[in-house]
Amino acid sequence: MTIKVGDRLPEAKFRVMSEEGPQVKTTDDVFKGKKVAVFAVPGAYTGTCHKMHLPSIFLNAYAIKDKGVDAIAIVSVNDAYVMNAWKRDTDLRDEATFLADGNADFTKAIGMELDASGNGLGIRSHRYSMLVEDGVVKKLNLEPNPGKVEVSGGDTLLEQL
């Protein structure tokens, strides 16, 4: 079942890179007591994600946070090493947490998995953005075409705040 506005996020674990290596962050660690702008992408460094989606987030990051958002999270079905390299290459002002959902556990739990096997990418995440307050989905913008950023970008979520 696909998550919808009003639903509480399920319990899941992400991996994030630290100086000691990959560390676990739970959904509670990320969302409990916070207002979080979440942006999910099919894959790190892939064309649309790297050249369109992330720039739309970082161009609007200050304005998003000025509207009362505590944190920005980027989710992708990639490992923590890839997500750490992608953060290093794109998040020049350290504005977001890059959450690795390597086995797609979170993505599957919220019904956002995308079978990209036809393109050699395996199971990935649909492209979407959502506003989460204390673990509850308040806004959800599912991109109808994973190769475009028309409703899931930073500009759209900013307008909804």
Positions marked active-site:
49
- Domain range for 72: 7-160
Locate 3 and state its tokens: 């998550």
CATH of residue 85's domain is 3.40.30.10
Of 85, 80, 82, the residue nearest 100 (C-alpha): 80
Yes or no: say if 138 and 5 are a contact pair by the CB < 8 Å rule.
Answer: yes
Q: Is residue 2 part of a domain?
A: no
Q: pTM, whole model, 2 decimals? A: 0.95
pLDDT in tens, 76-115: 999 999 999 999 999 999 999 999 999 999 999 999 999 8
For residue 40, the model assigns a pLDDT of 97
* Residue 15, burial from CB neighbour count under 10 angstroms (0-12, 13-18, 19+): buried
For residue 119, the 8-state DSSP code is G
State how far the Cα of 69 lies from the Cα of 74, in Å rounded to an integer: 14
